[in-house]
Chain A
Amino acid sequence: MTTDKRFALSDQWMDREGPEQHVVVSSRARYARNLPRIPFPARASAEELQTVVKQVTNAVDTIPILKDGMHFSINDLVSLERNYLKENHLISTEMEKGGQGRAMFLSSDITVGMMVNEEDHLRIFSLLSGFQPFDALNALIELEAQLSEAIDFAYSTHYGYLTACPTNTGTGLRASVMLHLPGLSATKQLHSILKAMPRHGLTMRGFYGENSDNMGDFYQLSNEVTLGITEQQIVQRIHEVIEDLVKKEEAVRSKLYGVRMGAVEDEMWRAFGLLTNARAMSSQEAVILLGKLRYGIDQGTFASLTHQALNRLIIEVQPGHLQYSRGGEVGEQARDWLRADYLRRTLTDLITPSE
């Protein structure tokens, strides 16, 4: 089996510096949009799905940022490639399944893109590193406005943009931010923070792992409410909550480091020891340990390591990426060996531990 190396781009969101990157990993915004008179993808015929793809492709021809980027039908990709794109946060789990008439557009700098015929005809998105929710929104609005010159979107003056699921109706906007909260995760504060989110019309959950798990202390915060609120208000809420969270996280980190520096440092060095010595490692364990290393960068424990390097490592130890770099499918047990080997080599090269 061969994989198409065009996705193995070295410069993506995770490789770029961003504001508040010690706490905020990435900022994303997406719009759900549909074409009028054509059934939503789940109820559309093969021809109708093709009509959508054709209209969108014609529109893209007039938009340089997408025209010069990458286009592909999801069914033309092998499952490893889809998995790879999902682990890079570029397509959804639903899109990864593949399906007739499902297409993908990406700008060449991978800051904006579009999924066609997922739950809605169009899912337009922008993805930036660090804390840039307003920049992500503005990039999204700009692209949507360009598309709307060529495509009429289903819209009602009363309900706004009409989406397949009524949880997206109105603005169709989902703004989200990925957070790394090793400090707050170690305290009881986090529980009450999570509990307060619905009051702001927001929701926050662990990013890696199922249900309530929060492997590596990574979280995703996003808006729940999309109707009866403006785009500005949605992102403003997120902006305010995150500004507050960053302050709280910083306060806890410096307090923890002041009070129990020995214990915190010990934990980081143990993570380092395992990552550079283990012979087999699951992706869960890798994410947890790499999360500790990411925390260690902020405290100056690992001077030569960067947030960018850690962002990338966490994604590259995922099953799809490991297999992608191998150019083919690898069994779970063999993957654990491959992962440990990869981590050992990469981290030994990257780290010059400070005393």
Chain B
Amino acid sequence: MLGKHQICMQCQLNQAAVKLTKLVKGTVEELWLCPDCAARHSPFQKKNPTINLNALLSGILSQAGEEAEAAIEQPDLTCPTCGMPYASYRTTLLLGCSDCYEAFETHLVNDLRKFHGETVHLGRSPRDPAMPVTPQRNAAELRRRLDNAIAAENFELAAKLRDEIRLITDSEVPNQS
């Protein structure tokens, strides 16, 4: 299975988003690729890169020669609200409507885990007030940056950091005197 942030096996650079299953001389080989490399990987790339990537995502392409891509399981599901078949999602990676999430949930969850490493939302919800979000600062991190700033003789930054540290440590240890 895909780890939290599986790296593309081709370029070793981007995050993988697509799994390619290949039959090579009778054994199944799994290849995790980023969208860029996946697009380049297809035999029809020169003709039509968009369709190629889509077809690739669906896993229904068969490659010339002894290599053949095994079809990824295609359950016969359709969203009751928008009427989109699951197979269509596999081709485009686009859902038809917000109810598709429920209709294809058992399969979609695997994709969500693949893309995000998680499946449960942690961010804002519709009832959250719009509170300003600020960088989290801790004194240790600021001290490290202060040392760097002094070493780099960036005294303007050093002064700013010293003020920030004072602000934090003051609020952490109130009424010491």
Contacts and interface: CB of A to CB of B under 8 A. Distances in A.
Interface in A280-326: none
Nearest to A231: B123
Contact of B112 (A148, A159, A161): A159
Contacts of A134: 133-135
A124 to B, nearest CB: 13
Given A170-B123, A229-B122, A194 B13 contact: yes
A225 B98 contact: no
B75 interface: no
A129 interface: no
A234 B135 CA distance: 11
Contacts of A39: 81-82, 84, 96-97
Question: Number of contact residues on B: which range applies?
Answer: 35 or more
A186 interface: no
A166 interface: yes
Most buried by B among A138, A162, A195, A235: A162
A169 B130 CA distance: 20
A203 B15 contact: yes
A145 B128 CA distance: 8
B16 to A, nearest CB: 9
Contact of B14 (A144, A148, A167, A203): A203
A167 B17 contact: yes
B133 A40 contact: no
B27 interface: no
Interface string A227-249: 11111110110010001000100
A332 interface: no
Nearest to B116: A227
B136 interface: yes
A159 B97 contact: no
A8 interface: no
B101 interface: yes
B1 interface: no
Contacts of A163: 95
A166 B126 contact: no
Interface stretch (A108-116, A149-157, A345-353): A149-157
B130 A145 contact: yes
A227 B133 contact: no
Given A138-B132, A170-B116, A226-B116, A157 B121 contact: yes
B133 A34 contact: no
B15 A224 contact: yes
A251 B14 CA distance: 26
B175 to A, nearest CB: 29
B118 interface: yes
B177 interface: no
A42 B115 CA distance: 22
A227 B115 contact: yes
Contact of B130 (A142, A171, A201): A142
B13 A195 contact: yes
Nearest to B130: A145
A17 interface: no
A144 B125 CA distance: 11
Interface string B120-153: 1111111011101111100000000100100010
B70 interface: no
A229 B95 contact: no
A198 interface: yes
A195 to B, nearest CB: 6
Chain A CB count within 10 A is highest, among B7, B108, B111, B126, for: B126
Contacts of B119: 158-159, 227-228
B164 interface: no
Nearest to B128: A145
A160 interface: yes
Nearest to B132: A138
Contacts of A274: none
B162 interface: no
A36 B98 contact: yes
Interface of A: 34, 36-40, 42-43, 119, 134, 137-138, 141-142, 144-146, 148, 152-167, 169-171, 173, 194-195, 198-199, 201, 203, 211, 224-233, 235-236, 239, 243, 247, 250-251
10 contacts: A39-B96, A134-B133, A138-B132, A158-B119, A165-B93, A167-B115, A169-B112, A198-B14, A198-B15, A231-B123
Given A154-B98, A160-B122, 5 more contacts: A138-B132, A141-B124, A224-B115, A235-B133, A239-B135
